[in-house]
Amino acid sequence: MRPEPLPEAEAPLALRPRRGTRRKGGNGGGGGAPGPQRGPVAGPCRQGKLRLQKWYLATADREKKKMVRELMQVVLSRKPKMCSFLEWRDLKVVYKRYASLYFCCAIEGQDNELITLELIHRYVELLDKYFGSVCELDIIFNFEKAYFILDEFVMGGEIQDTSKKSVLKAIEQADLLQEEDESPRSVLEEMGLA
């Protein structure tokens, strides 16, 4: 699989369960772009703004931009009732819309579309659990968290852990470490504010 984009909107992302699907991270309105062997990107919606992007193949910036732009265009031009797959360049793009955010993932010809859709859905579920009923603003203002979650879930384009629980656990613990790190500083900050 590859990259994918996800969309944005200020409405909460509605989660509809689905039969067999999976995703590679990313969200935002618009498109994500691929690198060979799976890398996702995510971008937001109507305005076509990218909210997250993740590439599982190192790609030069210019090429990334071009692909994102193209992909956004393709994905945004899809009508609501259309299926979630499309062929693009030599890749397959799997996308799904949650509220105003499109999550896209570019995969290779032989990859399984349905499991990619499931991957996307899982990622959104993870975001939802982590932020508690996630909305686009959560992703905008905490974009680094969204990346951290994605990184715990997918690595190098392959799913790392199929258990939502263990992904969330890893994130929580890493966050804990971080909080411990941060605590002295926040005291200082408070002082400063006072």
Angle between helix 113-131 and 143-153 (nearest 10): 130
Please answer whether residues 26 and 118 qualify as being in contact, where contact means their C-beta atoms are separated by less than 8 angstroms: no
Query: What residues from 39 to 58 belong to the interface with other proteins (CB under 8 A)?
Result: 49-56, 58
In our burial notation (b when 16+ CB lie closer than 10 A, e otherwise), range 7-27 reads: bbbeebbeeeeeeebbbbbbb
Rounded Cα–Cα distance for residues 120 and 105 (Å): 8
12, 70, 125, 148: residue in contact with other proteins (rule CB under 8 A): 148
Q: Does 73 bind other proteins (CB under 8 A)?
A: no
Q: Does 113 bind other proteins (CB under 8 A)?
A: yes
Kindly state the smallest distance separating residue 80's Cβ from other proteins, in Å: 10
Q: Does 95 bind other proteins (CB under 8 A)?
A: no
Rounded Cα–Cα distance for residues 136 and 97 (Å): 12
Q: Does 117 bind other proteins (CB under 8 A)?
A: yes
Longest dimension (CA), the chain: 60
Q: Interface with other proteins by CB under 8 A: which residues?
A: 19-22, 36-37, 49-56, 58-61, 65, 68, 79, 81-86, 110, 112-115, 117-118, 140-141, 143-144, 147-148, 151-152, 155-156, 158-163, 166, 170, 172-174, 176-178, 180-182, 185, 188-189, 192-193
